Amino acid sequence: MDFASKISPCLWFDTQGEEAARYYVGLFPNSRIVDIGRYTEDGHEVHGQRAGSVMTVAFELAGQGFLALNGGPQFKFSEAVSLIVYCEDQAEVDHYWNALAEGGGGKSQACGWLKDRYGLSWQIVPKSVIALLAGADKDKASKAMRAVMQMVKIDTAAVERAVAA
């Protein structure tokens, strides 16, 4: 396994770590499976997993390293941690939103959040909207925030219309 990054997120799955990693790698460019580790008989009294089953999957999404761990059902994802996808335009927002929401937990809350089929939370946000929210013009930022807070999937054109009003 390559430890190019000093810090890397570990995502705890019941048994779907490899499936999830392959799904994510297929969705994002510049992504790949790096390594797959398997359980052995050693430690079986603690981990309870079948020897030979997938324990970890090291993978990269858009060059960022991740580790998927098949650790069992005791822990679940929550909105306390989410992955943010910064999008160039509405077409990219639509692409990632639709792909990640497909077969998933659906919308999570307002502001571009959703849960995927594995229960992982994502924020799909256009860079242009982030720029409006963080901009020096407080009136525009306020209008953008009011618009975004009413959206589940962010609609760039609708935010721009709200700011222009």
Q: Is 68 exposed, middle or buried (0-12, 13-18, 19+ CB in 10 A)?
A: buried
**pLDDT band per the 50, 70, 90 thresholds, residue 1:** low
pLDDT at 43: 83
3-class DSSP assignment, residue 55: strand
- Residues 70-87 have a mean pLDDT of 94
pLDDT at 108: 64
CB atoms near residue 154 (< 10 Å): 24
Determine, yes or no, domain membership for 77.
no
By the 8 A CB rule, do 121 and 114 touch? yes
Judge if 97 and 159 occupy the same domain: yes
Determine, yes or no, domain membership for 55.
yes
Q: Indicate which CATH number applies to the domain containing 108.
A: 3.10.180.10
What are residue 82's DSSP bridge partners? 121
- Domain limits for position 26: 10-70
Residue 139 scores a pLDDT above 90: yes
Determine, yes or no, domain membership for 4.
no
- Residues 128-155 have a mean pLDDT of 94
pLDDT in tens, 29-65: 999 999 999 999 888 888 788 899 999 999 999 999 9
Structural domain count of the chain: 2
pTM of the model: 0.90
pLDDT at 103: 84
Which residues are within 8 A (CB) of 160 and not within 5 positions of it... i.e. 6 or more apart? 128, 132
- Residues 126-137 have a mean pLDDT of 94
Torsion 13-28-114-116 (CA) sign: negative
Apex CA 13: angle with CA 9 and CA 16, to 5°?
Answer: 120
pLDDT in tens, 85-122: 999 999 999 999 999 998 877 666 678 899 999 999 99
